[in-house]
Structure 1
Amino acid sequence: MWVSLALLALGVLAGAVAPRLLARADWPEREPIVALWVWQCVVAAVLLSFALSMTFSAAAAWQAVRGQMFATAPAAVVDAYALGALGPWSAALAVALACGGLWTGAMLTREVGRARARRRRQRAELLVRAPLLPDEEAGSRPLVLLEGDRPGAWWMPGTAPQLIITTAALRRLKGRQLDAVLAHEQGHARARHDWLLHCASALAEGFPRIPVFAAFRAEMHRLVELAADDSASKRYGRLTIALALVGLNEDRGVFGPCPTPHAHVPQRVNRLLTAEPRLTPGRRLRLTAAAALVPAVPLAVALAPGLSALA
């Protein structure tokens, strides 16, 4: 049972400390793809800690679970976990954590359902504004051009992702700027950023009082845009994508003194223009490897008593 409490404490500690450490780090904006990976590993470690804590608590509370979990384990291994140490509290903890897991699944299901309904509505509106030609099928157009007075370009995810661009954007963007915007949206599609955003939103909405999940959602929305900017700038240059962002957003008032829903755009433009050097390949590799080891910590805590008993 003490292993269950240690895992619970580890999950709480990781959820409290990791966001603060990442907020103080100076490298995520320089390496948004690595930062996305680090955040995913941290959240995976928190969820894994809670899941393992629930498993050991259930094993301590109910003989049926214990029999399945330690079916082939020697008696010394079972004794090493001291499953009966906290008595009835183990059942309460197991039930609480199980409810949290079920709630997480429900929130993710709701988020995916909302996204699908939103896409169906958007595709229906798209067919009204840009009807199919006689020989075309729904979803067969990877690029759709819409009549519009405001410059805009966006990606519509789904089984057949589509890039949408308005005629005003075609008039506003010059030369390679249009290609850079399309490359930015294609970067979202290739990396399947929509699923990452769905998971982050589900956790943040399901557990609004847990800071790590709120920070996870905020950082995912910011970092996926930076990652897509970098993906486009590799082919067309930072200046090109920066000018394209200015061209698409200068009529929205985002570059004025008053905050707007698109207040992140000036920060993205400044980042592209300042062009801070990337981390060295060695440091990127070390950060990636270290992040991959984070979810292994709760596994090590869970297995340590059993391995010690076998040694």
Structure 2
Amino acid sequence: MTVSLALLLLGALAAVAAPRLMSRADWRDREPVVALWVWQCVVAAVLLCFALSMTFSAAAAWQAVRGQVFASAPHGVMEAYALAAYGPWSAVIAVLLACGGAWTAAMLAREIRRAHVGRRQRRAELLVRSPLLPGEEPGSDRLVVLEGERPDAWWLPGAAPQLVITTAALRRLKGRQLDAVLAHEQGHARAKHDWLLHCASALAIGFPQIPVFAAFRDEMHRLVELAADDVASRRFGRLTIALALVELNEDRGVFGPCATQDGELPRRVHRLLSAAPRLTAGRRLRLTAAASFVPVVPLLVAFVPGLRALG
């Protein structure tokens, strides 16, 4: 079996099997940060499989590409890959994977542009609702208080990130609950969760038929909230952030018997109140190390023939 085909099959297998394996992991909600890292490593491995498969297929199909790929390789390495035996399908695979790569880049660019336009619109609306005072500059305040009947708080990312909170939220939240909500939103900002969500959304929109990308997007939206909850709970306690979530959302119908929106909120509150113990430091380290090795597997598949030739 050629290296290109092996990488293609490995990427397809990971794309199908990874969501099923991750759905069976009972530690995801207990360690959302570790789960975020595992998902990123899995998706990186899938993309790396396809990129390497495209490279070897292109090298087999076209002499010009072959010369660039193996330009600095020692004598005998190129022969170890038996590129001449790939057959006529190599050009087809290379073109299809190249189109997939270009489509991925286009979807990511579109998502970034959409996010930029959305942020600019939200900032314009923010200036209308909270106009600048004489001498103030746009983005100079990291905390903006808005008049509003609905209790809410959110982080507005960008070059000058701002935390926005409504007066209804200030009236509703008591003492440390307000500090916990601010810590939750700051946790999103420090971890750059917005970039992670944009990448996950771009892949899922661009390739809706690939299970791993759809699962990646859904899990990112859930896990970043759990991770931010943990940031706040470590500083102010699980009960405090749980009560703050209830205070902010109890008027939206998400905690009733017939809740119709944001069904994750009751689960987040239950998770905070149940206080399931964290994994041991040793197990967290093993999971992190195992996930870090996942993207290395395609590299090993790609370089084993060359290393054997050198040996």
TM-score by length of 1: 0.99
- Residue 190 of structure 1 corresponds to 190
Q: Secondary structure at the match of 2:29?
A: coil
- Residue 251 of structure 1 corresponds to 251
- Residue 262 of structure 1 corresponds to 262
Distance 1:200 1:261 in 2: 22
- What is the correspondence of 1:1-311 to structure 2 with a 5 Å cutoff? 2-311=2-311
Distance 1:195 1:254 in 2: 27
Moved more, 252-261 or 167-176: 252-261
Q: Secondary structure at the match of 2:76?
A: helix
Distance 2:166 2:20 in 1: 40
Distance 1:73 1:188 in 2: 44
Give how far 1:72 is off: 2.9
Distance 1:16 1:247 in 2: 40
Distance 1:202 1:274 in 2: 34
Calculate percent identity across the aligned residue pairs. 77
Give how far 1:87 is off: 2.1
Distance 2:264 2:81 in 1: 50
Distance 1:116 1:193 in 2: 15
Give how far 1:74 is off: 3.7
Cα deviation, 1:225-269, whole Å, max 9, x if unaligned, reads 000000000100000000000000000000012243311100000
Distance 2:259 2:81 in 1: 55
Distance 1:68 1:128 in 2: 55
Distance 2:274 2:49 in 1: 40
**Letter in structure 2 aligned against 1:68:** Q
**Letter in structure 2 aligned against 1:129:** R
Cα deviation, 1:6-46, whole Å, max 9, x if unaligned, reads 00001011111111111001001000000000000000000
Q: Report how many residues are paired.
A: 311
Give how far 1:84 is off: 1.7
Distance 2:303 2:233 in 1: 45
Q: Secondary structure at the match of 2:148?
A: coil
Cα deviation, 1:39-87, whole Å, max 9, x if unaligned, reads 0000000000000000000000000111111123244211111112132
Distance 1:197 1:225 in 2: 11
Distance 2:131 2:107 in 1: 35
**Letter in structure 1 aligned against 2:246:** V
Structure 2: tracts of 5 or more residues without a match: none
Structure 1: tracts of 5 or more residues without a match: none
**Letter in structure 2 aligned against 1:97:** L
**Letter in structure 2 aligned against 1:183:** A
4+ residue segments displaced more than 4 Å: none
Distance 1:114 1:232 in 2: 29
